Chains A and B, each alone.
Chain A
């Protein structure tokens, strides 16, 4: 009898430990998500919102919104170009750094990892300054006689996107490399020794041993990168401010402008757009998990 009451007490303590975190996640994640869904069917100023008419009006508006379509296109452009390049580079760097015969591994690893120590706003401003019309990149290219006049990198859509992608690769490759390195360290080194004895080339070893064994890490980094890319904000705001003429704006940046930009406050419409982002994240995560399973 006494034993069971002790057990009940312990069980109650276990639940109590979960309580603060559970309440906070419910209030700060799930409840706002539902609120966002409800708000997305409303219209009017934030203090006196009424149901939109028809109820799906905000969503219908998305289909006609040229800027949102540009923002979505940009986000997917960054996703399709930047994420694969970055993940392959990260895997390659991890593979090289995992080689025990390599000298100065620790130093190399620190340097590859270093960009992660800078805040997103900081590195956006550094890249903005380097690629300014009077910036260092133009100066170097001029001195090397590769270009004859300064390029306005951030003033044209194509080159501005290039700078954003370059900056993203700079900031996040080392970050992802750490995941691959952690994954590689769980692989028994003898597998590689055996492959070497069998005469497999390092390229073949990479594709037929490393990549399959790293699949869970690849799926995870892919999902994280998709999630991060769909929510790109700091870079878009601070590198290009979405310009020129919204040509590099991201979805999060546009949603922010719609909800908190000067004199706008279109909470209903912004919520509808944010729900589209949520659904995209869910779909893309599901696809990457499926793709990760399939190769079994």
Chain B
């Protein structure tokens, strides 16, 4: 094939893809625009936003000042980070331990237990919300980080993800470490954990995002304003009779910033994390 002919077929392939490009570009505009608008609105006054301005303005500092005056922004940010980090650490530990156990110590009884635990995936959150609220309040854990994380420490999804990915863990390492005289839990910490770090990264991203974005459950157990997280705070912002759109979008921006950063830095892990065990 001559060079010019090759270029010609390349050109015709790209020409045939024109409808795909058009569709993609329209879709991408649709998917990016609301977020772009949110960022610009956070830098404009509410009057400018209402006038339909869609370019960056000079009022970001003013909006931030108003937001901090209206709501305890840093406290809610701190709470959100606290809840999300604790949930990530505990969930990853408990679920990876179970995934390790289910895959590398597999037998019939454990498989049956695994199938049973997976059924919990089908139980909707609203169906357990009331008894869990009663339980958490009896344990005197309302308004606490433990009340936030306990229902989410073990999730069937994460256990399944760790189990599936544990198939890549070479059993030879397990045997070698045993011959070395290492304890079983020692093997988990010293061999399994470092080898499985990419699975941990994917699981961490998803767990962190879910915990950061949680709204219904914190709304149930965080009765004290001092314990509210970011989604609760921004939801309060829009409840007033007159909404300051610049300030509201500044709040939304703050609520989205950590997850956006995680998304851009760890997009591959995030995609792996949500698809989890589909492989």
Contacts and interface: CB of A to CB of B under 8 A. Distances in A.
Interface of A: 9-11, 13-18, 20-22, 24-25, 27-33, 35-36, 39, 46, 89, 92-93, 96-97, 99, 101-103, 108, 110-123, 125-130, 132, 134-136, 139-140, 143, 170, 173-175, 178-179, 181-183, 186, 216-217, 220, 227, 230-231, 233-234, 237-238, 251-252, 255-256, 259-260, 267, 270-271, 274-275, 277-278, 281-282, 285
Nearest to B178: A10
Given A18-B98, A119-B256, A252-B126, A25 B23 contact: no
Interface in B7-44: 13-14, 17, 20-21, 23-24, 27-28, 30-32, 34-35, 37-38, 41
A123 B259 CA distance: 13
B132 interface: yes
A21 B216 contact: no
Which has the most chain B C-beta neighbours within 10 Å: A21, A22, A170?
A21
Given A117-B263, A238-B235, A270 B130 contact: yes
B24 A259 contact: no
Nearest to A107: B28
Contact of B255 (A122, A143, A230): A122
A233 B215 contact: yes
B52 A140 contact: yes
Which has the most chain A C-beta neighbours within 10 Å: B35, B178, B243, B263?
B35
Given A11-B105, A18-B102, A227-B122, 10 more contacts: A14-B107, A21-B117, A93-B24, A115-B31, A123-B34, A125-B237, A136-B37, A170-B31, A175-B274, A234-B231
A142 B176 CA distance: 73
Given A110-B267, A129-B249, A121 B130 contact: no
Contacts of B105: 10-11, 13-15, 17
Given A10-B184, A32-B131, A238-B238, A120 B213 contact: yes
Given A231-B124, A281-B124, A25 B154 contact: yes
B54 interface: yes
Contact of B215 (A31, A39, A121, A277): A121
A102 B17 contact: yes
A122 B130 contact: no
Q: Per DSSP, are chain B's interface residues mostly helix, strand or loop, or mixed?
A: helix
Interface string B40-71: 01000000011110100000000000000000
Q: Per DSSP, are chain A's interface residues mostly helix, strand or loop, or mixed?
A: helix
B275 interface: yes
B219 A108 contact: no
A277 B248 contact: no
Contacts of A182: 271, 275, 278-279
Give me the 10 closest cross-chain CB pairs, A-B, nearest first: A14-B105, A17-B101, A13-B184, A35-B131, A21-B98, A117-B263, A24-B154, A119-B213, A32-B128, A32-B131
Which has the most chain B C-beta neighbours within 10 Å: A25, A108, A220, A227?
A25
Contacts of A183: 278
B122 A21 contact: no
A110 to B, nearest CB: 6
A21 B159 contact: yes
Interface residues of B, number: 95
Given A24-B154, A32-B128, A121 B213 contact: yes
B248 A274 contact: no
Contact of B131 (A36, A117, A251): A36
A129 B259 contact: no
A25 B156 contact: yes
B263 A116 contact: yes
B31 A118 contact: no
Given A101-B13, A126-B34, A274-B126, A20 B213 contact: no
B95 A134 contact: no
B173 interface: no
Interface in B123-138: 123-135
Nearest to A142: B52
A181 B124 CA distance: 27
Nearest to B33: A130
A102 B113 contact: no
